[in-house]
Amino acid sequence: MNNKIKWIGGLMLLVNGTLVWADALPDGLIWETNDTDPVFASPQAKQGGTLNLYVDSFPLTFRTVGPDSNGSFRSFILDNQLRLISFHPNTGNPIPALATHWAIAPDNQTVYFKLDPRAKWSDGQPVVAEDYTFGYEMMRSPHIKGPWFNNYYTTEVVEVSKVDAHTIKVKAGSAKGKLDLLNTTELWPQPKHFYKLGPNWVKQYNWAIVPTTGPYVISEVKKGKSVTFSRQKAWWAKDDRFFKHRFNVDTVHIKVIRDQNIAFRHFLKGELDSFEMVQPTWWHEKAKGPEFDKGYIQKVMAYTDTKQGGQGLHLNTAVPKLADLNVRLGIEHAINMDKMIATVLRGDYVRATTFGSGFGPFTEMTLPERGYDVQKARDYFAKAGYTKQGPDGILQNAKGERLTLAVTFTVSEHAKRLSFLKEEAKKAGLDLELNLVDGATGFKAMLEKKHEAAWLGWGGGGLYPQYWESFHSDNANKPQTNNFFNVADKALDTLINAYGKEFDLGQRAELSRQIQQRIYDLAIFVPGYELNYVRAASWRYVMLPTVPATKSTPDLLYWPMDGYPHSSGGLLWIDEDKRQEVLADKRSGKALAPLTLIDKSWQRGQGG
């Protein structure tokens, strides 16, 4: 059969016997790539070995979209799926990933991407344009039961079309500045040959091992106990400039250990290779003993300059008492965050004043802190009708209802922090009822809005603050959304809508500051703390580059996968020779010099 291509504004192609439309490339496109930014992995890295890690709960699904997918384990899967491009963790510039080149159209709304013809899924199938057009269809489908993705691929990304097998067009919902546009359009593909959309999609793919474009594949699953990833020996991108000397371990074994103290005992026995120590108790008090004193285990702290997500108390305004602004303002002044940071956290953290920071002019830095003030708190509570103090010191209203706030949290190590806040809140007549719930189950309860107050923190997200998912009324009073506040405020909606459409970065930054001001005025979020470093311990044979973290390393120093939006992970490696030496020294009792490394290469104010 002779297949003809007919020009009618675009291309008509014969694909699997079906005529489909494809766009033509416009004239005058300027194609860009990046093969000059500095590499950040170590050429000394060695491949091989197993990295043993732990999580505190088994994931509720292996899906990365749909119900129960937004748990912490998702990062292991999603950070192993490459996007069209990524961003350099130190310079912030775009770098190639699944696309080798990109070109921005004059409308500042459309981007063309040239796919790397070498790119393959882990099952050997090539990555082609149809994986993106199908991905666009899938993310808009009601079958995935993913309202955030449905909205994003309707309002933020309004078109994904094929030019040819290895060239695609992605159009954003509005004109944007260069980096913002690239960040909006650098999509993940979805394997069209693997998925079949249908009403049972969520259940059908709940535990599916989906082909990946990244270096690792899930190779073993023991339900409720462990998940193992194995490196593809012939991964197609292993020698690329920004992937070489990364993703070095052969195997990443992740076991479920529900208690952090038990996990630490596993670490001291050598059954885990690294242990994150951002929490002050671990770094200052528990990182002691013969394994540390004899130098078998090293401590590493690296300053970063990352964007911070919101961390603190999320107040659910759908709860009747929390619908009262005076109650919320009283809570703001009843939480002694500063003293908790100074004492329980040893001053290692910094008090936050906004929902997220580190975004330059997008962060409203002039918001006054609502400090701990017992009298102010009681005055606000009185305005809400809580005027009588009960025998236990807790305020009551005319109906005899005690002023309580149930706080749901998922990390046992935070119990001491919250217990301190509970005692301080009592002085203001507020009783904090602390509810520790298993990680995945607790987060599910928050997603289903079954909390009064949720104590948690978010990652910094993209290049700019993201507000729609957490604060727009589209996501209020619905399960499986990130609007943990259940806030539905017309003024806030108007600002968020304008923010999403604004092209001028200066104007967009102004809108961001206004959004943060409105969040502050509504008093729906009690800011917690932020930190600009990563801190961990590892056995001495787990190696990192000379500069152990990048400027944009988000929270885990020994992260084996990639990262989002910056390509920052997978820098570690296992030195097998050193491993044998360290274990031999441990068996014989030979002491090595204790090792604590503190790296300030990316400390704010140091220049980087």
Give the position of tokens 């309002």. 155
Q: What are the tokens at 32?
A: 């860009």
| Contact between 230 and 254 (Cβ < 8 Å) | no
| Residue 16 pLDDT > 50 | no
Class of domain 10-46+54-204: alpha beta
Q: Give per-residue pLDDT as tens, 142-182.
A: 999 999 999 999 999 999 999 999 999 999 999 999 999 99
CA distances from 104 to 101, 114, 462, 547 (A): 10, 12, 19, 34
β strands within 72-156, DSSP E: 85-87, 94-96, 99-104, 110-115
Q: Give per-residue pLDDT as tens, 270-288.
A: 999 999 999 999 999 999 9
Q: Give per-residue pLDDT as tens, 228-253.
A: 999 999 999 999 999 999 999 999 99
Q: Give per-residue pLDDT as tens, 457-466.
A: 998 777 899 9
Question: How do the domains of the chain map onto residue ranges?
Answer: 10-46+54-204, 311-530
DSSP string, 235-291: -TTTTSTTTTT-S--SEEEEEE-S-HHHHHHHHHTTSSSEEE--SHIIIIIIS-SHH
Q: What are the tokens at 240?
A: 């690329």
Q: Give per-residue pLDDT as tens, 48-72.
A: 999 999 999 999 999 999 999 988 8
- Residue 606: band (very low, low, confident or very high) from pLDDT cuts 50, 70, 90: low
As a whole number, mean pLDDT of residues 13-34 equals: 71
Give the position of tokens 């103290």. 261
Query: What is the gyration radius of the CA atoms in the chain, in angstroms?
Result: 25
Q: Give per-residue pLDDT as tens, 84-118.
A: 999 999 999 999 999 999 999 999 999 999 999 99
| Residue 607 pLDDT > 50 | no
| Contact between 357 and 308 (Cβ < 8 Å) | yes
- Residue 3: band (very low, low, confident or very high) from pLDDT cuts 50, 70, 90: very low
Q: Give per-residue pLDDT as tens, 396-419.
A: 999 999 999 999 999 998 999 999
Alpha-carbon span 113 to 167, nearest angstrom: 6
CA distances from 53 to 254, 263, 270, 316, 390 (A): 5, 9, 11, 34, 48
**CA angle 19–22–23, rounded 5-degree value:** 155
Give the position of tokens 């039961």. 145
Alpha-carbon span 396 to 394, nearest angstrom: 7
Q: What pLDDT does residue 498 have?
A: 95
Tell me which CATH code domain 311-530 carries. 3.10.105.10
Q: Give per-residue pLDDT as tens, 300-343.
A: 999 999 988 999 999 999 999 999 999 999 999 999 999 999 99
Which of 413, 367, 378, 403 is CA-nearest to residue 522? 367
Give the position of tokens 């002019």. 361
Q: Which residues pair with 595 in a beta bridge?
A: 298
| Residue 12 pLDDT > 80 | no
